[in-house]
Amino acid sequence: MSLRRAINEKCKDCIYDPLCGGGNWRQQVSACAIKSCPLWPYRPQSQSRAGVSSQSERTAEMAPQLESS
């Protein structure tokens, strides 16, 4: 499993509720407000989030942190 997919799956598992009517899983994860989560800066973003760095940039920034853990 890729690093990106692992992050996506963890975020989806943590916050997505298909019954709440709050959008798809990516929209719900984008709206996550749990800034104390270590994955928060790297969570998937919906396409409507302008001005946010790309997922590949965030993943590249995170890779050294994960390797040292």
* CA gap 44, 61 in Å, rounded: 14
* CA gap 25, 22 in Å, rounded: 9
In the prediction, which pLDDT does 59 show? 47
pLDDT tens for the chain, 69 residues long, are: 899 999 999 999 999 999 987 889 999 999 999 999 999 999 988 776 544 444 444 444 555 555 555
Are residues 16 and 25 in contact, defined by beta-carbon separation less than 8 angstroms?
A: yes
Q: What is the DSSP letter of 39?
A: T
